Structure 1
Amino acid sequence: MGTTERKHVIESCIQEKLKPVVRKIDSEAFYPLEFIKALGNAGVFQSRLPQSETLLRDTGLIEATSKTCMTTGFNLWCHLAAATYLRRSGNPYLRESVLPLLEDGRLRGGTGLSNPMKYYAGLEKLHLKARRVPGGYSVSGQLPMVSNLGTDHWFAIIASVGESQRIMAFVPCQNENLAMKEKIGYLALNGSATYSCSFHDVFIPDEWIISEQADDYVSQIRPVFVLYQIPLGFGVTAAAAESIEKAADRQGGCNRYLPIQSIEIRDELNRLKERLHRICTSPNVAEQWKPLLQLRLEVVSLTLRAVQADMLHQGGSAYLQVSDPSRRLREAYFLANLTPTVRHLEKLLQQM
């Protein structure tokens, strides 16, 4: 599928499968399953491209989706991050049998790595523990929040095996001794299919193991984990800038006196997008760890400024709970607290 055709497919899916249900996603915790399936069925998730082209394709998809609904963009981030884990795994079963199902829309993927990413930054202890048993591992513990889960979903985990080893695995939601409870009532992102996951001696066969040396493996996939979050902010920021422009003539054009205007938001957004493009096309993305963290932090800052400016430009109509500006405001605060959070990012950058 060429770039032009892919953009047309994505835009058609957004118009037909996503836009009609955005308010339902936000207010009723509706999960946009048909949109995600449609993208997979159209071949948008396939991985037959060089790495740089895959990164540019996926970040473009997340940005375009997030411009309409960041909850759904976040679901795509979960799914595409999960696909990345399998693409880079040495496990032939996961690469040859499970990955194709993620790429063609028959399965969805989640990424239960919030706690492990905090563990590797020295912020938390690992919540899951594993012990070796015949044919695999037995895992116990609890993950308080894992998103993009459901009946036909798998998700990644990392568990400690004693003091010196960590394993990374890919686990189906329909698993004996795995208890899941849906989490809703959040300020935003209630349609993200987020669950708490309790493991009670859950058997993980060897064919589900992504890596038995998770410490080394995480350093390979962590840059893409962060990189795919950046276009979440791009999409929300672009939508806020567009909303500001539509409100230019309100109340006699007095919005022009407000300190933040769409032109400066768009100028900074374009600069940040150019930096992401350079990272995506660099020979070794893993070597771009510090620039990625800095870019991720700056994107949060711009997104927060953009959505708050949009609230002021739109005025009273923005303060309706069902308004697009108020939804984007809540989405932006979620982005600020998505692992790695702002304080997590600040710590990592200051320790480099």
Structure 2
Amino acid sequence: MESCIVEKNLMIEQLIEKELKPFVKKIDADAFYADGFLKKLGEAGLFSSINKQDKEMLLDEMHVVKETAKVCMTTAFCLWCHLAALTYIRKTDNLEIKNKLLSSFENGEILGATGLSNPMKYYAGLEKLNLSAEPVEGGYIINGVLASVSNLGENHWFGLVAGVSENKRIMGVVPCNVSGLKLKEKVDYLGINGSSTYACAFNDVFIPKEWILSENADLFVEKIRPAFIAYQIPLGLGVTQASIELIEKVGQKQNGCNLYLKTQSDDLQEEARKLEEKVLTIFNRDESLNWKDVADIRLKVAYLTLKAVQTNMLHNGSAGYLKDSAPSRKLREAYFFANLTPTVKHLEKVLTV
């Protein structure tokens, strides 16, 4: 068992070294989309659910996200998008769509995206639902606009929730090339422009029933929400760990003056260790994951990540202020993470109310 873990970790390390590290600056500066890396992870069997329990599978895949985020959180974010979509397929009772997509999602042949930023905000009482669904023979007609969906491309699929009536919402998946769907690329972000993000306008898009994950989206979202949030936790932990390593690299600069700063790498490491222990604690319980327990950790990780990247900037001084420096990239990644649905303010609300 231990040798299998070592072998798998070595495989992840080699894929990151060969398929991701050479492109990091291109991803950050030129909005390069590293879909080849994501597909290689699938080809290597790192998304396989064969002979795995849900929690074991989640922890394994969260580890891949964290290792990726240490090097490039933009690509780790795309990986999260894929794993969220993969969760939808794994959890649906619609065997037709599961049989059509599951193996292709797991082996990297097809990549997926979430499409649930607006619906998650809707369920938290932050926004109105942006998509509507009209029942027709054999399926639904979808209209409306999703402002931002990431990890999209040719032969990609993504999730959606649409309102049928005041009391009914459906959840389905659609391919990017479906008739009536218009995609407009968005690359004006402070960071993560290599995430292949698009505004998605639905104009009388027909979705057949075989693409419907659930006729009761309200219940289905409750089922997928713990994993949806859990897969985000290692995004922040990866950026935090990378920041710690960057801080340690400059420990002796200017005759060790960094030692006078109030926050040191050891402080951050201890906070990260405690949060990782909390993750294992909730995963080791016999009962199923409680999404609010997961959300609480996700919120704490967001605040730790912001603290880590700010500390990293202070330790690196003017060198970190260069536009293409690793510390400035980590800073931009962390602010994106804080505003990734569920955002910090979104989490603060749902954990307080």
Do the two structures share a fold, i.e. TM-score over 0.5? yes
Letter in 1 for 2:79: L
Given candidates 19, 22, 36, the residue that maps to 2:21 is 19
Cα offset for 1:80? 0.5
Change (3 A) 1:284 1:194: farther
Q: Which residue of 1 aligns with 2:312?
A: 310
Counting only pairs closer than 5 Å after superposition, residues 131-146 of structure 1 correspond to structure 2 as 131-146=134-149
Q: 1:152·1:173 contact (CA, 8 Å) conserved in 2?
A: yes
Q: Which residue of 2 aligns with 1:121?
A: 124
Give SS of 2:40's match: helix
1:283-303: CA deviation from partner (whole Å, max 9, x where unpaired)? 3344x2222121111101110
Say yes or no: does 1:52 pair with 2:55: yes
Given candidates 270, 275, 278, the residue that maps to 1:272 is 275
Say yes or no: does 1:343 pair with 2:351: no
Alpha-carbon distance in 2 for matches of 1:285, 1:244 = 38
Q: Which residue of 1 aligns with 2:180?
A: 177
Alpha-carbon distance in 2 for matches of 1:171, 1:109 = 10
Letter in 1 for 2:23: V
Structure 1: runs of 5 or more not aligned = none
Given candidates 239, 243, 260, the residue that maps to 1:240 is 243
Alpha-carbon distance in 1 for matches of 2:88, 2:16 = 26
Give SS of 2:141's match: strand
Q: Which residue of 2 aligns with 1:87?
A: 90
Q: 1:55·1:280 contact (CA, 8 Å) conserved in 2?
A: no
Alpha-carbon distance in 2 for matches of 1:212, 1:153 = 22
Alpha-carbon distance in 1 for matches of 2:286, 2:170 = 28
Letter in 2 for 1:338: L
Cα offset for 1:99? 1.2
Q: 1:248·1:255 contact (CA, 8 Å) conserved in 2?
A: yes
Alpha-carbon distance in 1 for matches of 2:247, 2:57 = 32
Where do 4+ consecutive residues of structure 1 move more than 3 Å? Answer: none
Say yes or no: does 1:253 pair with 2:268: no
Q: Which residue of 2 aligns with 1:290?
A: 292
Give SS of 2:42's match: helix
Structure 2: runs of 5 or more not aligned = none
Q: TM-score, normalised by structure 1?
A: 0.98
Letter in 2 for 1:7: N
Alpha-carbon distance in 1 for matches of 2:179, 2:111 = 19
1:70-117: CA deviation from partner (whole Å, max 9, x where unpaired)? 001100100001101110100112211211111111100000000000
CA RMSD of aligned residues (A): 1.0
Q: Which residue of 2 aligns with 1:37?
A: 39
1:96-141: CA deviation from partner (whole Å, max 9, x where unpaired)? 1211111111100000000000000111110000011111111000
Letter in 1 for 2:80: W
1:249-307: CA deviation from partner (whole Å, max 9, x where unpaired)? 10101100001100010001000001112223333344x22221211111011100110
Letter in 1 for 2:299: L
Q: Which residue of 2 aligns with 1:330?
A: 332
The count of corresponding residues between Structure 1 and Structure 2 is 350
Cα offset for 1:162? 1.4
Q: TM-score, normalised by structure 2?
A: 0.98
Say yes or no: does 1:216 pair with 2:219: yes
Given candidates 143, 146, 159, the residue that maps to 1:156 is 159
1:140-162: CA deviation from partner (whole Å, max 9, x where unpaired)? 00000001000021000000001
1:148-203: CA deviation from partner (whole Å, max 9, x where unpaired)? 00002100000000111100001000110000000011011100110000000101
